[in-house]
Amino acid sequence: MAALGMFDTANLNGGQKLAVKYFTVSLALFGAQVLFGMLAGIQYLHPDFLYGILDFSVNRTLHLNAMVVWLLFGFMGGVYWILEDEAKHPVVALWLGNLIFWIFTLAVVAVVLVFLLVQVGPAEMKSIWFINEGREYLEAPRWADIGIVVSVLSFFFNVAATFAKGKYTGIGGVLVIDLLALFGLYLAGMFYTPNVSIDQFWWWWVIHLWVEATWEVLVGGIMAYMLMTTLGVSRKIVETWLYIEVALMFGSGILGLGHHYFWIGTPQYWLTIGGFFSALEPVPLVAMVVHAVYDSGVHKLKNSNHPALAWTIAQAAGNFFGAGVWGFMHTLPQINMYTHGTQWTASHGHLAFFGAYACAVISFFYIAAQKSRGNVWMSSGMVGAWRWKWAMTFLWVGMVGMTMSLLIAGYEQSQIERAVEGSTWMAYFTAQAHPWFVQGMNWRLISGWVFSAGFVLLAWDLLTIGKRETRPAAQIHEQATASA
Amino acid sequence: MSQEAWWASGSFWRKSAIWITGLSFIILIFLTFDSMSYIKAGGKQVPNYAVINQRVDYQFNEAQNRYLPVIGPEEPLFGKKLTEDEAMAMVSKGKLNVQSKNCMDCHTLLGNGAYFAPDLTKSWLDPYWGSKESREQTMVDFLMDPSNKLHNGIGRRMPNLGITEDEARATVAFLKWMSAINTLGFPNNFKAMDQSDAPAPIAAPVAVPDAAAATPATGAPVQQ
C-alpha cells in the first residue's frame, strides 16, 4: 500500500476503482454543464452572442443533458463505491461494469458532438433516431436511449447479483428495487406520437418519476451509507429512516406526478390529485433534514471526513429548500396557472437539482478523494483546507444568487406576461424587456460567475486534497457499517 | 429498554414502504388508463386531427369560469380540406419538425420546455400574425426565414433552422391542432386574434370533464 497522501488505486476495492472512473467523467461533465449554462445565461443579455453558431437551444440542451449524465454517472459511481462494502462480496462482473463505463462514456461523447456539430435535422424519424429527439431532458437520440437502457440494465444486474452472492442489507434491498424502477421507467419515454398530450403524459413518467421518485430514493440509499461512514450512525437507525423516507417519498411522489398534468389536455381531477400529493412531497425531505441534523448532533459532529459531511448536511438542507420549499411554492394549481413555464420553474430546478443531487455526488467525490489517498485525515484543519471551504462557499453563494435572481424574474413574468398581458407573443416580450426581468438576468449571470469560480476551486481541490496530509483518518467507519 | 416501539421498528416501516409504493402505483396505473380516454386524438379534451379544417378560437367561458378552445365553422388550413388521415399525417410531420429542430429548448409547448422564446400552446391564435387572412402565409414565411423578421425590441431572434416550405406548413398544422386542445384554461387571459368577421362559432367538440358527462360525444354548442 502506498504512503498516506499518495494517490493509489491499490487503496480501493474493485467496485471503488470503477467508481473513481465514473466520478472522473462525472466531474468533467459537471464542468460542461457549468460552461454551457454560462453561455446560455449570457445569451439572455446579449442575444447576438454565438447566434447562428451555438444558439440558445444548443447550449441549453447541453446544459441539461450534461447535468442528467453527470448526476447519473455520480450515482452509478456512488453505488459501485458502497457495493462491496455493503454486500461483503466483490462485484460479480467487474469486467461488465468497466465495459459499460467505456461504452457509456463514448456514447456521451458521440451525442455531444452531434448536438454541437449537427444540431438539427429534417422532419423525419431518422432525425429522432440519430440527431435529436427534441424533448426537453430527453434530447438524446433514440439510439442513445437504447444505450442508456442497456447500461442501466447491466448496472442493475451487477448490483443485484453482487448483493445476492454476498448479503442483502436494507440499503441493498432498497437500491436494487429502485434500480429496477429506474430501468423500467425510462422505457416509458421511448416512442414517437404526433399527439403532444400523450407525448407529454409519458414524458413526465420518465422525468418526474425518475427525478422526484427513483433518484430521490437512490440518493437516500447512498446518503444513508454516507452517514454511517462519516458520522458513525448505526445501521439500524439509518435503515429505519431510509424505509420511512421511501414510504413518504413514493407515497407522495408517485401521485405527485399529477402536478405535471394540470395543463396538458389531461382531465380535471389531476388538479386535485396533483395538488394534494405534490403538497406532501416536502414531508420526506423534512424527515431527511431532521435525520441528518439529529444524527450530527448526537455524534457531536465528530466525523471522519469534514468536507463530505459538510456536503451531506448541505444536501439535506438543499434538498428541503430546493425540491421541497421551492417546489411547494408553485405546485398548487391556483398558483401554477400563472407560474407554469416561467423562470419560477428555472429557479426551482436550479436549487433542487443542486441541493438534492449535486451535493450528494460531491460528498461522494470527497469520500473517494480521501480513500484513494490511503484514507488520510480530512478536516477543517488540514493542509489547504481553505480550498474545500471556499469551493463550497462560492458554489452555494452562486447557486443561491442564481435561484433568487431567477425567482424575481419569474415573479415579474407571472405578473406582467401571464396575469396582465395574457401570455401572447407581445406579452412575453413585454415581460422580457421589463427592468426587473433584465436585472434578474444580470444578477443570475453574476451569480453564475461566482458558481463557476466555485467549480474551478472544487475541481482543483478534489485533485489535490490530502496530498500533503500524513495523518490517518479517524476510525469511525468500520464499526458503524458492520451489519446488525 | 428491550421492548421496541412499533413506530420505531425497521420491519414496520419496510412493510409500510412496500405497501404504500405498491398501492400508489396501482392507483397511478388506473388513472393513466382513464386519462388516455381524455387525451387520445378525438378524446374528451384533445380534438381529432381533422380539426385543422375548422376555425379554432380560444375564449372565456362564463359557465366554467375559464378560457376554453371554441371550434368554429369550416376554415380549412391553406384552403384545402383534409381527411382525418391526411390531417394526421400533416400534424405528425409538423410534430416531427418541432422535435427535430429542438423547438422545445427555446419555446414551451403546453407550458413545458425552455423560457427563451414565447409559449407555443396558443401561438396559432396570436395577434402577432396580423389578420386571420394573412396568418398562414406569415407563419410559413417566418418559420422558413425568421432571422431577419421583426421579433421584439430586445434583439432576441429565432435562428434559421433550414425549415423547408413543406415542414413549415406542417408545423403550422401542428400548431393549429395544438391550439384546439382543452388545457383547462392555460394560458389564462390569452388575448386571441380577432376572428370575428365570420359567423359566430357553432360547436365545441372539446369539452371539460364535468360538461363532457352531460353532453353528446359530438359536443354541444357553447354560449358566446
Q: Is residue B81 part of a domain?
A: yes
Q: Which domains does chain A have, with CATH numbers?
A: 9-481 (1.20.210.10)
Chain B nearest CA to A121, separation (Å):
5
Contact flag A194-B49 (C-beta cutoff 8 Å): yes
pLDDT tens for each residue of A67-118? 999 999 999 999 999 999 999 999 999 999 999 999 999 999 999 999 999 9
Tens-digit pLDDT profile for residues B13-42:
999 999 999 999 999 999 999 999 999 999
Q: Are residues B61 and B101 in the same domain?
A: yes
Among the partner residues B14, B28, B188, nearest to A255 by beta-carbon distance: B28
Q: Is the ipTM of this complex over 0.90?
A: yes
Which CATH number characterizes residue B152's domain? 1.10.760.10
Q: pLDDT band at B198, cuts 50/70/90?
A: low
What is this structure's pTM?
A: 0.93
**Are B33 and B143 within one domain?**
no
> Does residue B97 lie within any of the structural domains?
yes
Residues B118 and B177 in one domain: yes
Same domain, B74 and B178: yes
- Domain shared by B60 and B135, yes or no: yes
Residue B20: which of A61, A193, A250 has the nearest Cβ?
Answer: A250
pLDDT of residue A468: 85
Interface test with B, best of A190, A254, A342, A418 (most B CBs within 10 A): A254
Counted across chains A and B, CB pairs separated by less than 8 A come out at 268
Clarify whether residues B24 and B134 are in a common domain: no
Chain A residues lying within 8 Å of B104, measured CB to CB: 134-136
Contact B104 A132 (CB under 8 A): no
Mutate to test the interface with A, among B6, B12, B39, B125 (most CBs of A within 10 A): B39
Query: Would residue B5 count as lying in a domain?
Result: no
Give A220 to chain B, closest Cα distance, Å.
Answer: 14
The verdict on a CB contact (< 8 Å) between A424 and B154 is no
Number of domains into which chain B is organized: 2
Residue from the list A48, A122, A195 with its beta carbon closest to the beta carbon of B41: A195
pLDDT value of position A383 = 85
If asked whether residues B197 and B177 sit together in one domain, one would say: yes
Let me know whether B191 and B110 are in one domain.
yes
In this structure, are B24 and B88 located in the same domain?
no
In a domain, B4, yes or no: no
Closest partner residue to B35 among A64, A123, A266, by Cβ? A266
List, for chain A, all residue ranges whose pLDDT scores fall below the cut of 70: 1-2, 475-484
Q: Are residues B184 and B100 part of one domain?
A: yes
**Is B20 a domain residue?**
yes
Does any domain span residue B63?
Answer: yes
CB contact under 8 A, A132 and B185: no
Residue B28 and residue B94 in one domain: no
Specify the higher pLDDT residue, B203 or B131: B131
Cell of B55: 376555425
Are residues B101 and B70 both part of a single domain? yes
In a domain, B136, yes or no: yes
Q: Give pLDDT tens digits for B180-193.
A: 999 999 999 999 99
- pLDDT for B216 beyond 60: no
Cβ contacts of B194 on chain A, cutoff 8 Å: none
Taking CA–CA distances from B155, the nearest residue in chain A reads A47
What residue numbers bound the domain in which B30 lies?
A: 10-37
